[in-house]
Amino acid sequence: KAHIAKYVQKCKKCFAVNSKISKEAAPLNSIQVPTKCWSLIGIDIIGPLPDTANGMKYIVAATDHFTKYSHAAAIPDKTALSVAKFIFDMICMFGCMDHIITDQGREFVNKMNSELTELLQTEHRITSAYHPQSNGQRERDNRTLKDALCKQKTPFE
């Protein structure tokens, strides 16, 4: 184990790519602790990223706050329709969620997603502006996902 830790500490690519952890303490927000799978889901969008060969520019990702399971998909744009399709695909795979937490982006707060959550009888919780800690589990998973993607892609590929 010690030689693995030493190798990781000396890896220049890991050091350059890994996100720097902020030392600032964020105020604590109370959040209802989920008691079952897929009851509380945090959703966020990462990007814009460099275009892929098939025109995908963003990643929409969701995290189950009970199991910490993450699910992500590449999307071409950050529109309400792309987000609604992602939520629909998740429902087809995992079933309906009780609560969704998102930021205040137009791709999340709109008539289409309001009607979708009303139809599914899902509560949509919106985080405070400029306070990503309100959806902290998803934000942390975003950082992990971005770090992993950057390590896979080199400037010569």
Distance CA 146, CA 135 (A): 17
Torsion of CA 105, 110, 112, 118, to 10 degrees: 100
pLDDT grade for 33, boundaries at 50, 70 and 90: confident
* Tokens standing for residue 40: 């509380």
Distance CA 141, CA 53 (A): 25
Q: At what angle do helices 111-120 and 80-94 cross, to 10 degrees?
A: 20
* Tokens standing for residue 147: 């770090």
Spans of all domains in the chain: 37-152
113, pLDDT greater than 50: yes
Q: Which of 66-75, 102-111, 114-123, 130-139 has the lowest mean pLDDT?
A: 130-139
**Cα dihedral 82, 86, 91, 96 sign:** negative
For the domain spanning 37-152, the CATH number is 3.30.420.10
Give, for 43, the enclosing helix (H) or strand (E): strand 40-46
Is the overall model pTM greater than 0.75, yes or no? Answer: no
pLDDT grade for 130, boundaries at 50, 70 and 90: low
